[in-house]
Copies of this chain bind each other. A is one copy, B any other.
Amino acid sequence: MRMNEQLRQAIGAWSAVLGDEYVKTQDRLIDQYARSTSPWGTRPAAVLFPVSTEQVQQIVKIASEHLVPLYPISRGRNWGYGDACAPTDGQVIVDLGRMNRILEHDSQLGYVVVEAGVTQKQLHDYLRQHKTSLWMDSTGAGLEASLVGNTLDRGFGHTRCGDHYLNTCGMQVVLPDGSILDTGFGHYSGAKAHRVYRYGVGPMLDGLFCQSNFGIVTRIGLWVMPRPEAFSAFFFAAPHDADLADLIDRLQPLRLQGLLQSTIHIGNDLRVLSSRIRYPWGLTAGKTPLPDDVRQKLRRSYRIGAWNGLGGIYGTRATVRAIQDAVRKALRGYRLQFVGDPTITMAQTAAWLLRRLGLGRRLTDLLGLLKPPYDLLKGIPSDDALTGAGWRLRDPSKPQPLDPRDTNAGLIWVSPVLPSRGALARELMDLVTPIYLKHGFDPLVTFTMITERAMIGVTNIAFDKTLPDEVAHAQACYEELITTLIPAGYIPYRTGPQGYAKLSAQPSVFWDVTQQIKRLLDPKGIISPGRYIPHQVRPQ
């Protein structure tokens, strides 16, 4: 690509700091980083691979000197929310993937300290290798997805530590002027409580560095949970779409009372199907969205409900039993199953034996359906959940994507937050379903009870990026969803770059203050310009 003089000088300076091999401008690599699951990919001007906080400081100073914008990524696996792509073309990606050390762990207090490039798989392996008896929390974004990037976008997982930002303690941030900010108690030398008490003393600054562009977070403390004495997963299903509100209203009190401490995920039939199969092009003769009769048929043959949920119970044997009783009572009338390690082991053994006899397909299928979410409730990451991204791909020869970009899987999340109230979940479904159907898409939906009081309605447009028409429909569908939901009070918890302007479309003191802080900390607009914080200053 053509390079302006400032960029050329910056690249020279970066090469001197990082070494030539860690400053990439080759088209082939740039092409890789420019790919997106969304229709809105952008092209970076270069990609830098620092290995240390000191190098990040140097990178930032050089960027500031030459006025070249940077876009830091942890692992760039922000699937469906922009992936590795900056909001605009021409930003220089700072890929923190080489900064992948796990610096500390404490089994008694339940925390780890990780650099920005550490993956889910790495931490999981590390906790096992060090025989820590600690369970991490994982998202469904796959083995190679990062911990820090996900946390800074306020992602969530499945265990008691499922609200990722809530389970951070102490950030190291390289500010746009190259200085290092340690949040919490981190700026006191030798502070005993640095990794166990988030607030420090004085104002808490950590919140500034989520969903923003005020600095580059290079290191965080992460709370992880102790392996409980006893663990039970529970799976439940409701036969009718109309059961959704009732399900939520029955579970919410258990969450609010602190009896259920994991996030609870309640997915519709389409969500569950998409994790096992591709869209049934044969059964529908190519028609989209999925006709109701086919949907009913698939529901029956995979023995899934209109709504299907799961959660984890952690505690002593006696508390787990007592909470199981409470769940049983709450979900009376619904299909409910408790699954523990012995069940899984027995089923695996049985399936293995049956397979040797050429039997047991159904059990194997069932295990395939249960095992990955069961593992996630124990914080074990896998690539399995990613398969949903391939739902609408036409080409049956393509394998299920581990990197959805490899198969042209199109993916756009639309994930509004709502109170854990059945009637509101129903209202949200009634808002989004007709929009999805109208544009030819299937409403894949999960309601995640992320905290004691709130749910995130995780919906996504799954489309085939090889078909320009479908891509256009996906864009139109997104546009209609977002412009319907925000005025209705269902605000997304997170978006890709295409959503930022929608979020800040209404003038508000809130966005004004964030812009002021941006100008204060990053007067030259070096870090991720356009990310969440509105780029242009509104006239006062």
A contact set with B: CB distance below 8 Å = 108-111, 154, 160, 165, 169, 175, 179-183, 185-193, 195-197, 199-212, 214, 223, 225-226, 228-229, 252-253, 256-259, 261, 314-316, 318-319, 321-323, 325-326, 417-421, 424, 450-454, 486-495, 503-504, 506, 508-514, 516-517, 520-521, 532-533
| CA gap between A190 and B491 in the complex, in Å | 10
Instruction: Name 10 extra pairs, CB < 8 A, besides A110-B452, A185-B491, A203-B208.
Output: A108-B421, A110-B453, A111-B453, A182-B508, A196-B454, A203-B212, A203-B514, A225-B257, A228-B257, A259-B315
| CA gap between A207 and B514 in the complex, in Å | 14
For A229, the chain B residues whose CB sits under 8 A away are 257
For A109, the chain B residues whose CB sits under 8 A away are 256, 419-421, 453
Assess whether A206 is in contact with B207, with CB atoms less than 8 Å apart.
yes
Nearest-neighbour CB distance to chain B for A231, whole angstroms, equals 11
| CA gap between A226 and B259 in the complex, in Å | 12
Given contacts A109-B421, A203-B209, A212-B203, contact A489 B191 (CB under 8 A): yes
Nearest-neighbour CB distance to chain B for A254, whole angstroms, equals 9
Sample of 16 A–B contacts (CB below 8 Å): A111-B453, A154-B199, A182-B508, A182-B509, A187-B510, A188-B506, A196-B419, A202-B532, A203-B211, A203-B517, A204-B210, A226-B253, A259-B315, A259-B316, A316-B326, A319-B322
State how many copies of this chain the complex holds.
2
Assess whether A210 is in contact with B200, with CB atoms less than 8 Å apart.
no
Given contacts A210-B203, A532-B202, contact A197 B493 (CB under 8 A): yes
Assess whether B315 is in contact with A181, with CB atoms less than 8 Å apart.
no
* A193 in complex: contacting residue of B211, B256, B419, CB < 8 Å: B419
Assess whether B192 is in contact with A203, with CB atoms less than 8 Å apart.
no
Which 7 pairs show the lowest CB-CB distances between chains A and B?
A204-B207, A318-B322, A196-B453, A190-B489, A197-B454, A203-B212, A187-B510
Assess whether B509 is in contact with A188, with CB atoms less than 8 Å apart.
no
Nearest chain B residue, comparing its CB with the CB of A453: B196
